[in-house]
């Protein structure tokens, strides 16, 4: 039987078959790409930023970018929650503007991240070539820090029933890996440690001459003055004219005449008020002492303060419970001199012998007091509080400036005062003396303002002349008996409980006093279980602590003396550690000069850093 020759099975593929194959390959390739994208591989292999010796990939950049965003968000969280900053974390960042009204949040976060990363890489590069730094030690310390940080994240992930991978992606972006997180942390920590090294060098190099120069170059940071200002302005606006009542509307002559008449009426009233206002300010300008000025100032504001206090006191009264107009006016007149004198004297209530009794004084003790009689028991104190607020609200502290007429009045002689060389073209002058006055009137140029006689005038009364803080910084210790109604961390749930415990320990410490003093070491022994993170604070300046704490500290006279103070946090047993001997302005000048020298040093660094801007489109919700 003849052997059958096998036929040629090789066939040419049709066009449709080729197309089907291409589609299949494309689908498979798409699946692979999708899987790889889900792992963040493409982002990781993309360049994020680089310098000569360091590389930051897309995954590491995801960490830096998300960290920058989270730090910003946590800092401004309450402003966002209460609507003071308009920001929606779920909306595209490029569609939202920052508070400057010009920059969108995408550009803001991109530029912030770029600046941070650039700074890190420049510090790391400089650390490698710094002859006084052992870079290997810096790197080893940074790697140890990175390992400890990841261990902490592992614990947090476990506590949240999550894998470490899922946990870090939740906080630092979907493309971050554990390995890249460690690398990013190492760079971050090397930069941070090296910054501290350089900062310490610059800090130690600043001497008094450098402090004095910084002071002279930044007077606005150190020099201030204080005044009480009384401002009076337009109170009448033109009555609105309804154009629909006139044929031809706003274009009719009748309408224009009506508008002009309304403006003329408002102008007449404002000009009369302006004359009265000028008389008040002229009278205030005759004051030569603070007590005299405050007395007149409060007299001018008394009626308004009394009315607002009265309105609050009788807010829930029925008409029949309120005093008659005559009785109220008599009561107002009776209180006036007494409460004003109390405010000027710095009191928060009338003395007992000065208290005004209710009108129905003849009534027997068994007679039930009316609502108004009961209100009068606390009314003087409330009125004094209101008048004190008037003083406080109009007392201003202003920093050095020569850009305004008021600034020139207050600070024209500051450079002479501190022996600072004048720049070419600067005029010499003198500072306003204590209790001097400055009158200022606003000139309105717009026709709409002129037509109604708009005005604003102010009188400034100097209560503290141009000065810098020369008082000495102080050291202080305290033992806090914290009050927290939940009893968190061993705190006392009530003020009474905290006071009992504080009194007990206070008496024990008093028993250890020698000549009214105790050593710092002994006080520290008593303060081992304090509810505060620090028992002692050094170099304390005014304005750093809560008012009650600070008032005691800067009234203390003898190093080693103790006291008992109540603040919003609880009861404090206080210890006065003495003055440091350094005027308060010098540490500020020292740190300012240090930071200025740091900036100069950093700007001189020549290390080249490049950043891939396009990487951020994957990181942020653009």
- Helix, strand or coil, per DSSP, at residue 588: helix
- Kindly give the interhelix angle for 135-159 and 164-172, rounded to the nearest 10 degrees: 110
Return the closest-CA partner of residue 114 out of 61, 154, 155, 165: 61
Question: What Å distances lie between residue 12 and 5, 6, 151, CA to CA?
Answer: 21, 18, 62
Q: 233 with 455: CB under 8 angstroms?
A: yes
Kindly tell me if the per-residue pLDDT of 23 is higher than 50. no
Contacts 24+ apart (CB under 8 A), 91-95: 91/621, 92/621, 92/622, 93/620, 93/621, 93/622, 94/622
Mean pLDDT of the chain: 89
Residue bearing the bigger pLDDT, 20 or 323: 323
pLDDT tens-place string over residues 543-590: 889 999 999 999 999 999 999 999 999 999 999 999 988 899 999 999
Least confident of 7-21, 463-477, 527-541, 603-617: 7-21
CA angle centred on 548, ends 543 and 554, rounded to 5°? 60
- What is the predicted pLDDT for the residue at 491? 87
The domains found in the chain, sorted by start residue, are: 46-204 (no CATH), 472-583 (3.10.50.40)
Say how far apart CA 391 and CA 146 lie, in whole Å. Answer: 55
Kindly tell me if the per-residue pLDDT of 373 is higher than 70. yes
Say how far apart CA 591 and CA 202 lie, in whole Å. Answer: 10
Say how far apart CA 399 and CA 407 lie, in whole Å. Answer: 9
pLDDT tens-place string over residues 152-163: 999 999 999 999
Burial class of residue 177 (count of CB atoms within 10 Å of its CB; 0-12, 13-18, 19+)? buried
- What is the predicted pLDDT for the residue at 425? 83
Q: 307 with 329: CB under 8 angstroms?
A: no
Q: What is the DSSP string of 454-496?
A: --EEEEEEEEEEEE---SEEEEEEEEEEEB-TT-GGG-BSSHH
Residue bearing the bigger pLDDT, 529 or 449: 449
Q: What is the DSSP string of 35-79?
A: HHHHHTHHHHHSEEEE-SS-EEEHHHHHHHHHHHHHHHHHHTHHH
Q: 141 with 193: CB under 8 angstroms?
A: yes
Give the pLDDT band (50/70/90) at residue 32: very low
Token reading at 488: 């968190």
Q: What is the DSSP string of 249-276?
A: GGGSHHHHHHHHHHHHHHHHHHHHHHHH
Q: 49 with 612: CB under 8 angstroms?
A: yes
- What is the predicted pLDDT for the residue at 347? 92
Would you state the torsion angle of the CA atoms of residues 531, 483, 552, 528, taken in this order, to the nearest 10 degrees? -20
Rg (CA), the chain: 36
Place of tokens 């400089």: 126
pLDDT tens-place string over residues 43-83: 455 788 999 999 999 999 999 999 999 999 999 999 999 99
Residue bearing the bigger pLDDT, 353 or 389: 389
Q: How many CA atoms lie within 13 Å of 474's alpha carbon, on the beta-carbon side?
A: 25
pTM of the predicted model as reported, rounded to 2 decimal places: 0.78
Whats the size of the chain, residue-wise?
A: 622
Q: What is the 3-state secondary structure (H, E, C) of 514-567?
A: ECCECCHHHHHHHCCCCCCCCCEEEEECCCCCCHHHHHHHCCCCCCCCEEEEEE
């Amino acid at each position: 039987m003849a052997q059958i020759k096998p036929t040629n099975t090789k066939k040419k593929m049709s066009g449709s078959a080729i197309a089907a194959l291409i589609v299949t390959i494309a689908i498979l390739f798409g699946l692979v790409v999708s899987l790889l994208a889900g792992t963040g591989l493409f982002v990781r292999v993309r360049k994020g930023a680089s310098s000569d010796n360091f590389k930051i990939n897309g995954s590491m950049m995801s960490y830096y970018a998300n960290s920058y965003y989270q730090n910003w968000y946590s800092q401004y969280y309450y402003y966002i929650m209460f609507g003071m900053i308009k920001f929606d974390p779920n909306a595209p960042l490029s569609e939202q503007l920052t508070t400057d009204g010009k920059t969108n949040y995408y550009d803001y976060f991109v530029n912030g991240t770029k600046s941070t990363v650039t700074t890190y890489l420049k510090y790391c590069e400089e650390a490698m070539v710094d002859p006084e730094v052992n870079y290997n030690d810096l790197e080893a310390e940074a790697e140890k820090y990175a390992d400890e940080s990841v261990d902490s994240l592992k614990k947090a992930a476990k506590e949240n029933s999550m894998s470490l991978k899922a946990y870090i992606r939740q906080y630092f972006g979907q493309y971050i890996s554990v390995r890249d997180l460690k690398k990013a942390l190492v760079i971050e920590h090397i930069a941070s440690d090296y910054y501290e090294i350089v900062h310490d060098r610059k800090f130690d190099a600043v001497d008094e001459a450098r402090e004095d120069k910084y002071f002279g170059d930044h007077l606005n940071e150190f020099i201030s003055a204080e005044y009480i200002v009384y401002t009076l302005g337009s109170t009448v606006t033109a009555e609105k004219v309804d154009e629909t009542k006139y044929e031809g509307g706003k274009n009719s002559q009748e309408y224009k005449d009506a508008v002009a008449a309304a403006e003329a009426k408002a102008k007449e009233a404002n000009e009369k008020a302006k004359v009265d206002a000028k008389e008040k300010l002229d009278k205030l300008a005759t004051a030569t002492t603070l007590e005299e000025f405050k007395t007149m100032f409060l007299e001018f504001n008394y009626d308004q303060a009394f009315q607002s206090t009265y309105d609050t006191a009788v807010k829930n009264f029925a008409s029949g419970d309120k005093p008659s107009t005559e009785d109220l006016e008599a009561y107002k007149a009776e209180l006036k001199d007494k409460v004003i004198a109390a405010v000027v004297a710095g009191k928060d209530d009338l003395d007992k012998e000065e208290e005004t009794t209710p009108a129905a004084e003849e009534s027997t003790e068994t007679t039930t007091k009316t609502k108004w009689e009961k209100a009068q028991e606390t009314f003087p104190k409330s009125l004094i509080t209101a008048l004190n607020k008037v003083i406080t609200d109009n007392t201003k502290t202003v920093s050095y400036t020569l850009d305004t007429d008021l600034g020139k009045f207050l600070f024209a002689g500051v450079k002479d005062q501190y022996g600072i060389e004048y720049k070419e073209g600067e005029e010499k002058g003198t500072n306003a003396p204590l209790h001097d006055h400055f009158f200022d009137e606003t000139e309105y140029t717009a026709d709409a303002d002129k037509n109604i006689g708009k005005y604003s005038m102010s009188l400034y009364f100097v209560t503290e002349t141009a000065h810098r803080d020369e008082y000495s910084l102080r050291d202080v210790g305290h033992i806090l008996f914290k009050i927290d109604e939940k009893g968190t961390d061993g705190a006392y749930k009530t003020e009474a409980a905290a006071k009992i415990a504080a009194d007990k320990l206070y008496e024990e410490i008093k028993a250890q006093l020698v000549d009214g003093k105790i050593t710092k070491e002994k006080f520290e022994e008593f303060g081992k279980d304090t509810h505060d993170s620090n028992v002692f604070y050094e170099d304390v300046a005014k304005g750093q602590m809560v008012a009650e704490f600070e008032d005691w500290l800067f009234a203390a006279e003898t190093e080693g003396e103790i006291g008992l103070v109540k603040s919003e946090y609880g009861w404090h047993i206080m210890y006065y550690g003495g003055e440091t001997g350094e005027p308060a302005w010098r540490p500020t000048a020292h740190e300012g000069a240090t930071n200025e020298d740091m900036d100069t040093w950093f700007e001189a660094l020549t290390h080249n850093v490049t950043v891939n801007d396009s990487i951020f489109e994957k990181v942020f919700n653009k």
